[in-house]
Structure 1
Amino acid sequence: MLVMKRIWSFCLLFFFLSCGGEAIAGELSQRLANFPQWEKLTSVQPASGDLVYPKWMAGTWKVTSTLVDLAAPLAPIVTPGFEGNRRQLNQPVSFLVRFVKEQPSIAGLKVFPQRDYKSPILVADRAFNSLNLARAYLGDEAVLLVKVDPDSPNRQITFLRSSRQLVSIVTARATETTLDSKFVTTEVFQQLFKGGSRPYLNSVESTTAYHKLSTSNPAIEADQVTAVYLSPQDPDYFKAGSRPVALYRYRLEFFPQELLTTPKE
């Protein structure tokens, strides 16, 4: 049970490092400001291609993630491990991530035909980032491998000990750039945990506002809210409707790393 709760906690952060359609101006930022008053986002578009980040996020970073608040708007309807996650409040967790340049995909061309695709785009190194994140939360021995679908950056599998797997699929996303130069993203994804007594499926939305700072320690900060929705298989699904049953707010700090470090295989 303890292992399952730790896996659940890791799942909450899984896609903050994973562009799509533009959101209505200011809508994503307003959602963050409205925490914990949250409704399911309606302006996202189907995910196609990869999530494109601004140039100032290029490179390798040490990220410190801290859970600063959590809420259960529909209590006593909650997610597994919600109460246990209170122990993680104000407990920082650190891991390495990197953002790399690559040529845009054909799918990306369809989504953004107005862009100049002679230049490479900046994307997350998903396998590297997800493996480091998973091992930071679960331990080096608990996580075997992370594989990204070669045909779609929006689908990946985390292989865990005891033949357990976490399958994560980004289904929709939106982005916006605010007047104060914050880069805000929302991704909606389905996650399926396999290997327990029965598969567990749910829907998660992660909204993050990245802000470049004038300092180097940290150089970037981010405000993130992860909202968890029940799957149609859950007996409380119709009670919850379009509202999340758990909300988690994180503070992310990015510290630049000069040396490129490869995770242990």
Structure 2
Amino acid sequence: MLAMRSIWSFCLIVLFLLSGSGKATAGELSQRLAHFPQWEKLTSVQPASGDLIYPNWMAGSWQVTSTLVDLVAPLAPDIVTPGFEGNRQQLNQPVSFLVRFVLEKPSITGLKFIPKVDNQSVILVADRAFNSLNLARAYLGDKAVLSTKVDPDSPNRQITFLRGERQLISIVTARNTETTSDGKFITTEVFQQLFKGGSRPYFNSVESTTAYQKLAQSSPAILADQVTAVYLSPQDPDYFIANSRPVALYRYRLEFFPAKLSTTP
């Protein structure tokens, strides 16, 4: 049987694979990370539309090591989310998985892009099905995760199918990004998650802010600082008590190493 805290850890870290396009007020997102854990609900986001665009230097395949480095329950002991105390066992425990980012032609007009290949304009996007499947199996085990599926009509909607007829549905609803003067690519996104298949469906609202930085001639080649904030859904009896404040904050360190892929078919 899948432990709820394992499902919850996977729900949190899946966010970094879904970061994307948009524009934030200069400095707003970097200031948000600097003020951890003093957070309020983010309001300056735009509705998520189209595919999710990454900077060119993230192209390729990567071995990612994710480590939970801090967790805070700002409204404890009055309000604590399910699995929060159990997630303390994940603190400083690295988890590794393979991801890749690929070039493709934009499917929606009006998107901004820079790179060109063979005179055809392209954008860099995550291989969402590949990435999410590897991520889920790293946290839950190969036998626990059956498959992942991205909605062909919307890259912002994804379903992970789990053993025992369980499903995790993730829908990105809003996002913004920022590029700092020192070259960091920072993204914030808000999304809804629904876990189906337990004794009752579990719904929450989550915001993730991630700063990616390319390191010159270094290992890892990319370093990311991510903070995930969990908010109560309007269906929760403590929703108005929380008053739009996060009830849980998780901070992760993400290290990207160039993947050494086997050439054997």
With normalisation by structure 1, the TM-score equals 0.94
After the TM superposition, which residues 33-72 of structure 1 pair with which residues of structure 2 at under 5 Å, given as runs?
A: 33-72=34-73
Letter in 1 for 2:256: F
Partner of 1:222: 224
Partner of 1:250: 252
| SS of residue paired to 1:140 | coil
Alignment partners' CA distance in 1, 2:262 and 2:53: 21
| SS of residue paired to 2:121 | coil
Alignment partners' CA distance in 2, 1:39 and 1:50: 27
Alignment partners' CA distance in 1, 2:234 and 2:186: 29
Alignment partners' CA distance in 2, 1:125 and 1:135: 16
Cα deviation digits, residues 178-220 of structure 1 (max 9, x gap): 0100000111100000001111110001110000001342100
Q: CA RMSD in A?
A: 1.8
Q: When the two structures are aligned, how many residues end up with a matched partner?
A: 259
Task: Give unmatched runs, 5+ long, in structure 1.
Answer: none
Determine what percentage of the aligned residue pairs are the same residue.
80
**Alpha-carbon shift at residue 111 of structure 1 (Å):** 5.1
Alignment partners' CA distance in 2, 1:8 and 1:129: 18
| SS of residue paired to 1:191 | strand
Alignment partners' CA distance in 1, 2:80 and 2:27: 29
Partner of 2:167: 165
Cα deviation digits, residues 90-134 of structure 1 (max 9, x gap): 11000000000011122xx2454x979841000001111111110
Query: Is the 1:229–1:246 Cα contact (8 Å) retained in structure 2?
Result: yes
Task: Give unmatched runs, 5+ long, in structure 2.
Answer: none
Query: Is the 2:114–2:123 Cα contact (8 Å) retained in structure 1?
Result: no
Partner of 2:140: 138
Letter in 1 for 2:14: F
After the TM superposition, which residues 45-194 of structure 1 pair with which residues of structure 2 at under 5 Å, given as runs?
A: 45-76=46-77, 77-106=79-108, 109-110=109-110, 112=112, 118-194=120-196
Letter in 2 for 1:5: R
**In the alignment, does 2:19 pair up with 1:14?**
no
> After TM superposition, which residue ranges in structure 1, 4 or more long, deviate above 6 angstroms?
114-117
**Alpha-carbon shift at residue 21 of structure 1 (Å):** 2.4
Query: Is the 1:217–1:255 Cα contact (8 Å) retained in structure 2?
Result: yes
Match for residue 202 of structure 1 among 204, 212, 219: 204
Alignment partners' CA distance in 1, 2:101 and 2:262: 11
With normalisation by structure 2, the TM-score equals 0.94
